[in-house]
A and B are shown apart, each in its own frame.
Chain A
Amino acid sequence: MQRPLSSFAFAPAVKVKLINAGFHTAADLCDLRPLQLSKESGISQQEAVEVLQTVRHDASQGAGAGSRMTALELLGREQAMGAIVTFCSALDSVLGGGMPVGKTSEVCGAPGVGKTQLCIQLAVDVQIPVCFGGLGGQAVYVDTEGSFMVQRVVDVAKAAVEHCSLLADDAEQREALKVFTVEDILSKLYLFRCHDYVELLAETYLLPDFLSQHPEVRLVVIDSIAFPFRHDFEDLSQRTRLLNGLAQQLAQMANQYNVAVVLTNQMTTKVGNGQSKLVPALGESWGHAATQRLILHWEGEQRLASLYKSPSQREATVLYQITGAGFRDVLSSDHASADSSAIPSGNAPKRLRTQADDHQT
């Protein structure tokens, strides 16, 4: 009740008027009616109604459930959220277990390096049952380029199912395998097709509703976010504003609905000092949008993934390859890719978490 009014999310003009009229804390407002408040502070009646509703709602929620948390609670919550494995164990260990749920990650790369393949792999891996160390969730795939091919998803899904059936030890895992078939995987992958940036923005406004109707979704992939924003935009400052708004909405959605948001970005050539190099597209300000940034690039014939920006993991570069079965490790000896498992069997969550702990110390 002693919460100061400046900490509420009102428009700055409204805040100034309230403070000038002498209202400083929530307690000052709770006994007033909208008409009185609007007369005394000079804000419109509509605004007064909203201010009072917000203050009362906050008061009824008690000790700010959801708005205040200790760091220990936050740590517990983050660890409980888990991560989505990529089946490339080197990349998983660099990422601290996999793509983090509850945060936005960006994957940048030149065409053909494997961004869409990684997204498809994640969309299948998020559905791995909990007893195998996965999240048992569903996936939303927003396709803006037209590069989503069901044929490829079927390949990756088949390989994942085979991998899990090789690992199945106990009765619980065999039971879980019965609902982890290729058709089940396909039925839990929702595809949204957007042809331009307006459609993409419309889908982003509608995603929160979709996520509340489908609470099992744990992954939202947007492949790619650069494509619709890179043509027919004369006003680049409008593009920056739209992208910033989009980034904020996605970050909020990731946090509120407990989903991992993975965005794919293109590369563009930047010419400077007589040299040209590849940098992620959409400008410098977009670099701040995602929590984590992964850059996929070529080094001769090899594909490398570099963790370029992360709040909790160290920058590192690993090798990976794309096989018929999907996104995999590069093994030093020429084994069949079926051996390169990233899912430890048995008590998988514990092992994943200790790996993550090792990395964070």
Chain B
Amino acid sequence: MDFRQLELNPRIISAAKKANLKSARDILGLSGPDLQRLTRLSMSDVQRLQAAVAVAFRKSPPVTALQLYRGECPDLEPRHRLTLGCPTLDCLMRGGIPLSGITELAGESGAGKTQIGLQLCLSVQYPQVHGGLGSGAVYICTEDAFPIKRLHQLITQQPRLRPDLPTDLLHGLCFSDNIYIEHAADLGVLQTCLSQRVPILLARGLARLVVLDSVAALFRCEFTAEESSKRARHLVALASTLQHLSHSFNAPVLCINQVTDVVEHCDASQFRCGLVESAVLPALGMAWANQLLVRLMMRRLGGVPSLGAGIGAARRLEVVYAPHLPRASCLCHIGEEGVKGVLSPDSAHIVSSHMDLYGKTEV
């Protein structure tokens, strides 16, 4: 930090330099009495120092919500979302996945979480006017090998999933070229990947979506029950890395999570967070739940599919919490072309009560 830029008495600046405070973070990260002890300045001088450093450190001036609404600050509030590939699912999410912050998708095995992850990897490659981000995706596998055959099937069936798109666009895009696959078998490898390779891809604009499939797998085997605080620290560190990447590059991050059985005891309701009728809850506890922006759950419903041909039973995609979404759910089917939402009569209310992003009412 350049001390000469600060509007301060030279005496205060020299005291700060003598106390070996070199950067703004050093000065702002200490409390008032700590700084007084280090620099031997009076309280009012310390306050002046902190105020001057804060002015220099502040990266962006405050904005009003009206400016955000009008789209004058695209970094803070990009006026679009990443589409899920199906208009019904987009309606549930009021546009799609938010561009900054961690979105979690939790569910039992076989529920269809990887299908959504793959579908997003394809929809991100379309240009912005069609709901994508015009860039590729990074898919980090921690459990099984990457489902490459399914990806090829989805690619060939894209025209069926997205009939609204012009065919020359669909044929012009080489989908598999833009999906970068990483395998991370343990935490160390994942941290290396996230701190070295993924930022380069995001910085060069080659990717604008990060899918982590799955986050629970790494944490559930490496830490024993007694090491819960250590696990919580690592979880928070991982979440912080992902959030930093997401905010810096305005790239959505989708974390796929497993579920855990609920052990019933008297205080269970506070941990359930409103999911009363569920026999399972998303794994990794409160430490991880506090880091998320949006939490979705995918459930596999019993019974025979009644509408058309789908792979197995119907699914239900539920919004557990999000700052801008009500708790709602939507039936969906997994077909050859991907995950498609189904408008059943009781879910029709989702459509009517939701408005499109900035004012228009969707039918």
Judge if A148 is at the interface, Cβ distance under 8 Å.
yes
Residues of B within 8 A of A226 (CB): 290
B267 within 8 Å of A (CB atoms): yes
Within 8 A of B (CB), among A121-142: 140-141
Cβ-neighbour of A195 out of B236, B247, B267, B353 (below 8 A) = B247
Instruction: Give min CB distance, A299 to chain B, whole Å.
Output: 6
Interface residues of B, count at CB 8 A: 69
**Interface pick from A28-36, A109-117, A284-292:** A109-117
Which residue of chain B has its CB nearest to the CB of A140? Answer: B62
CB-nearest residue of chain A to B272: A298
Known contacts: A111-B295, A150-B69, A324-B326. The answer to whether A278 contacts B270 by CB under 8 A is: yes
- Shortest distance in angstroms between B3's beta carbon and chain A's nearest beta carbon? 16
Contact between A187 and B65, CB atoms less than 8 A apart = yes
- A187, B66: Cβ atoms under 8 Å? yes
B293 at the interface (CB under 8 A from A): yes
Query: Most chain-B CB neighbours within 10 Å: which of A113, A297, A301?
Result: A301
B24 interfacial contact with A, CB 8 Å: yes
Tell me how far the C-beta of B296 lies from the nearest C-beta in chain A, rounded to whole angstroms. 12
Stretch at the interface among A261-269, A330-338, A339-347: A261-269
When the two chains form their complex, are residues A150 and B286 in contact, meaning their CB atoms are under 8 A apart? no
Closest Cβ–Cβ distance, residue A201 to chain B (whole Å) = 5
Cα(A183)–Cα(B290), bound, Å? 32
A8 close to chain B: CB less than 8 A? no
Which residue of chain A lies nearest to B292 when distances are taken between CB atoms in the complex?
A111
Contact B31 A241 (CB under 8 A): yes
Closest beta carbon of chain A to B81's beta carbon, Å: 10
With beta carbons under 8 angstroms apart, the residue of A241, A245, A298 that contacts B273 is: A298
Q: Which residues of B contact A148 (CB under 8 A)?
A: 323
Task: List residues of A whose CB falls within 8 A of some B CB.
Answer: 9, 11, 46-47, 50, 110-113, 116-117, 140-141, 145-154, 183, 185-193, 195, 197-199, 201-203, 205-206, 209-210, 226-227, 230-232, 238, 241-242, 244-245, 266-269, 271, 275-278, 281, 297-301, 303, 322-324
List 12 additional contacts besides A112-B295, A113-B273, A146-B243; criterion CB under 8 Å.
A50-B42, A110-B271, A113-B274, A147-B293, A152-B323, A183-B69, A187-B64, A191-B63, A227-B290, A266-B290, A277-B267, A298-B274
A-B contact pairs, 5 of them (CB 8 A): A111-B273, A146-B293, A186-B65, A230-B236, A277-B270
Point out residues on B near A: beta carbons under 8 Å.
Answer: 24-25, 28-34, 42-44, 47, 50-51, 53-55, 57-60, 62-66, 68-69, 76-77, 94, 98, 100-101, 228, 236-237, 239-240, 243-244, 247, 265, 267, 269-274, 276, 285-287, 289-290, 292-293, 295, 320-321, 323-324, 326, 353, 357-359
